[in-house]
Structures are given as C-alpha cells and as structure tokens.
A and B are shown apart, each in its own frame.
Chain A
Amino acid sequence: MRAYLPSYEMIVPQSLSDALALLKTEPGVWQPFAGGTDLMVLFESGKLSHRKFINIWGLSELQGIQENETHIEFGALTTYAQFEKNALLCQEFPILHQSSLETGAIAIQNRGTFGGNIANASPAADSSPGLLVYDAEIELISSEGSRLVKYCDFHLGYKKTILLPHELIRSIRLKRHQNTHHYFRKVGTRKAQAISKVCFAGLALQNPGQTPECKIALGSVGPIPSRCKKTEKLLSQSFPKIAKEKRDWIHAACSELTQEISPITDLRSTQDYRLQVSLNLLTDFLDTLKPSA
C-alpha cells in the first residue's frame, strides 16, 4: 500500500555544516536522503518506516573527484554515471566501472550514489565487492570533525554499520595500483535491473619478481559483503609457479572458500546455487591468472 505522504517530512539544509549541525542536535531523528533509488522504492510500497529525512542531494561538499600521486578520492554523492564518465577512475578501478554499469539501468545509474550504496548497507550492494578488494577507505564527517575508516571495517552485521547517527559519508578514497589484474562478475536473473544472487570481485597484484597477492570479495553470500581473507591467504601463499600446479591450487582454494562463506536461501536464490556459483566464479577468476614464474 502506498505511503501516507503527510506523515513524512523532508527538509533541505542550506549547506553541509547546516546538515551536520542538525544531525548533531537531533541524533537519529533525521535520516540522510541522497539519490533516492532505494528509499523511494520503500516509500512507494509503504515500507519506509523512518519518517524524517534530510535531503543531502546537491550538497557540493559531498561531490567531486580528486586525484594525487597515490590516491583517487570521490565524493559520496558521486553517481554511478559520473563514475562511468571519469576516464581515470574507469581505467584504474575497472571493477567499480563494471559494477556501476551493471547497477540497475541508465536511469538508476544517473541517480544512485556510491555513498548511498554504502550507507544502505545491503549485503547485495553492487559496489561493495569492488570497494573491498581495492581496500577503499571512507571519510566520515560530523560537526566534530572527520575520521578515515577502512571500508572493510564499515559493516558490523546485517544492515548494521559503524556510521554514527550524526555522521555522513563524505568521500571514498582509493589507493592507486599498478600491474593489477581485475575481475568482476555479477550474477542475477538478467543483465540489467537485477539484484545479484552472487557478486564476485577478484584482484591480483602482480609485481615482477614477487609472489602475486590475491584479493577476493563476495556480495550476497552472507549478512555483509566481505573479503575472504582465508582463501586469499591460501591463494597468495601457494601461488603456482608452473601451469601444471594450477589445478590443485584452484581446487584447494575452492575447498577453502566453501568453508569461508555462508550463503543462505532467500527469495532471490538458494544456498546450493550461491555456493556453486561462487566456486565457479573463483575458478573463472583464477583461470585468468598466469603462473608467477
């Protein structure tokens, strides 16, 4: 049933400091509202339980893309479409480029924001696996100042995060890498407009003369999107030097990943399917890597 409009409130702050001051004065009362691609869906179906919103869409302090020698930082209100149009971001972080292209369709990509995707904290968020393997950091701001946190520490449990009621996500900060092999696959019911059944990101940092470092992260296979550190450790420690070692290596990695993830059966997929697809995607990723010798 459609929501009863007069029971909701939405206010527009004049600036970021106004927004932060209000969030501080009445903590938990006002919920930030960005592109609306999640909240408006709940609102429409009468399931939006929160009633008071502060419109942060348009706050210039939460926008913009900056780079220096070591990092690229982009504002929380950066939309998927803005990411797709930034050549540098797409070139250096192709996983996030691809996940943006596969989020909803063009009309959603024009409104949906990275900050919103992170704060909404869905285990199926399309940008999460990419942010995890790139070791993203996020800047949280409040009227008291700001703090830089690792995105891998952001999620505490299903839809629970470290974000305090008086804080906003200001930006996302990514470390620039070279010699990196990137892999991303989202598996859903169709190519566009789907919420993933499994979402997989893989990264291999391959510096000549060094053992490659592998990073993998999955979405939709647990209560939070997460890195698979045990599998990563196994992958990096026993990285094959010759092609014929590869089969055993992949087999061992699949056994480890089976232990490490905990997919469930829900309205979108089943436990068995999600596990099998996760293993298939891990295998596909590892198949694309060359032996290190």
Chain B
Amino acid sequence: MSGHTVRIELTVNGQQREAQVHPMTRLLDVLRENLRLTGTKEGCGEGECGACSIFINGELVNSCLVPAIQVQGAVIQTIEGVSSSKKYGSKLHGVQEAFLGWGGAQCGICTPGMIMAAVHLIENTLDPTTITENQIRTALAGNLCRCTGYTKIFEAVQKACHLPGSKA
C-alpha cells in the first residue's frame, strides 16, 4: 500500500500551477478536481471518445490516459485556454465562433474535446483554408458525439478554417 503523493508543477493556460497528487492520478482529474478546470470532460475514461482532449506541449492527447507524474514541468492547454489566452485577447477562438454560428454543439459533452481537436488541426496547418473534409474527419476521428451525427460539427470546422480568428 502506498498513499504517497508528489508535487506536480506545470503551466496551464499560461499560468504556473501546482498540485499535490498521487503520481498515477489521471491528468484529467488533476485538471478537474485539483485545478477546478471543469471545461475538460470525462466521457469513456479509456481513450475512445476524446471528450478529455487537451494539449501537452502542443500535442493533442487524451488526458484520461496520462498519469500526473508524466506532466511534471509540462505546458498544458485546456479548453479554458483556447479563448482566454493572450493570443486571442478576450475573444473566442474562430473554432468556437464557428461551433456557435453553425450549430456544432448540442448537449455539449463532446464539444470541448471536438474544439481542441479542431484547433489542433487548424493551428498545425500552414494555410487552414486548404484543409479538406477528409483532413477534418481524420483530425476528429478520435472524438465521439452522440447528438449531432457529426455533419454539423464537420461543417463548423470547415467554416472555422476560413475565419480570421482561427489561426494562431
């Protein structure tokens, strides 16, 4: 038996944060429980649904599959940081605007993960206006939605590719 905990220091959405947790605590729980960033959702808890998608050092990951000890010193971005980062001022990210404008969200549980995956695609593409529907489908293949049937989500991401507020 070992109830030992460790101190994890990390940068979350541009701010220095820390948490005293068991090394195998899921990053998802560190974000939601310790740091009170509840925008990141838990769906399946086994890497299938993408609801808990966040960025670690700029890479899209499922935060339910990452033990806390592996993000010591890492730079994390969550859905809360997509709109509030200095990069965009107080404005919503283009992907968020598009989800609002073109009906990309229904119940909302998958939405933060969908937006993270879409932001990841757009910000890693030199010219987002060249993004094809196939690329969008691949980029969002790890995110499940049980409401929309995906069509509205793909449409919203396609629109976002052409919005000025989408590119970093």
Chain A interfacial positions (CB closer than 8 Å to B): 5-12, 33, 36-37, 40-41, 43-45, 53, 55, 57-58, 81, 104-108, 110-111, 191-193
Contacts and interface: CB of A to CB of B under 8 A. Distances in A.
Residue of A6, A40, A41, A108 with most partner-chain B CB within 10 A: A40
A40 B117 CA distance: 21
A107 B72 CA distance: 19
14 contacts: A5-B24, A8-B24, A9-B23, A10-B24, A11-B23, A40-B47, A44-B45, A55-B23, A57-B70, A106-B142, A107-B50, A107-B60, A192-B142, A193-B141
B133 to A, nearest CB: 14
B77 interface: no
Given A8-B2, A10-B24, A108-B47, A33 B117 contact: no
Contacts of B47: 37, 40-41, 104, 107-108
Residue of A36, A45, A107 with most partner-chain B CB within 10 A: A107
Given A6-B22, A7-B1, A105-B50, A110 B141 contact: no
A40 B64 contact: yes
Nearest to A8: B24
B22 to A, nearest CB: 5
Given A45-B46, A57-B70, A58-B70, A9 B4 contact: yes
B53 interface: yes
Interface of B: 1-4, 22-26, 45-48, 50, 53, 59-62, 64-67, 69-70, 72, 117, 120, 138-139, 141-143
Nearest to B142: A105
Contact of B142 (A5, A6, A55, A108): A108
Main secondary structure of the interface of B (DSSP, over half): loop
Residue of A7, A44, A81 with most partner-chain B CB within 10 A: A44
A162 to B, nearest CB: 28
Nearest to A41: B46
A155 to B, nearest CB: 24
B67 A40 contact: yes
Contacts of A33: 67
B48 A193 contact: yes
Contacts of B138: 105-106, 192
A40 B120 contact: no
A5 B46 contact: no
B80 to A, nearest CB: 18
A111 B24 contact: no
Residue of A5, A8, A9, A81 with most partner-chain B CB within 10 A: A5
Nearest to A105: B142
B65 A40 contact: yes
Given A6-B3, A40-B47, A106-B142, A55 B62 contact: no
A81 B24 contact: no
B46 A12 contact: no
A7 B23 CA distance: 12
A33 B45 CA distance: 18
A195 to B, nearest CB: 11
B142 A193 contact: yes
A-B pairs with lowest CB-CB distance, top 9:
A105-B142, A192-B141, A40-B65, A6-B3, A10-B23, A105-B141, A110-B59, A41-B46, A9-B2
Contacts of B1: 6-7
Contact of B64 (A12, A44, A57, A106): A44
Contacts of A105: 50, 138, 141-143
Contacts of A7: 1-2
Contact of A106 (B3, B25, B66, B139): B139
A36 B67 contact: yes
Contacts of B26: 40, 44
B110 to A, nearest CB: 13
A12 B24 contact: no
A17 B142 CA distance: 36
A33 B2 CA distance: 18
